[in-house]
Amino acid sequence: MLAHEAKVFLSFKGKDTSHNFTDNLYAALYRKGIHTFRIDDLRGEDIAPGLLYAIEKSRLVLVILSHNYARSNWCLDELVRIMECREEMGKIVFPVFYHVDPSHVRNQKGSYGEAFAYHERNGFGHQTQRWRAALREVGILSGWHVHD
């Protein structure tokens, strides 16, 4: 799937969701004829520019917030850009709270609080303010809660 063809961009932590929820969601969207972009579609490309382009060109971004999403500085940087696109371009962002409480995302509690303690211990303290702001913003959006 080329980034310029995608209607939906999936942001997710592969370790948590890629072999179950995200794969099923991607397949369901595909069956409905909805062109969907996910990170797997960028294998072999320069990932940063390709990701930014895909986010900007997609009509809708589904952010699948899972237990380990905030552990990934890559996911958090991606989320910052997604929320910037929401503000600057009116991008539609729909969060999916996959086995996480939205208040934990919004307030960085539980696994999200643990992730930030990890980032601060490992030299990412200078970036945490932007990451926290993006999580607060996505955490207040209406979304879908999955507790299957």
User: Among all residues, which ones are annotated catalytic?
Assistant: 78
Measured CA to CA, the distance from residue 53 to residue 60 in angstroms comes to 13
Measured CA to CA, the distance from residue 139 to residue 120 in angstroms comes to 21
Residue (of 64, 62, 80, 57) closest to 7 by Cα position: 57
* 3, β-bridge pairs: none
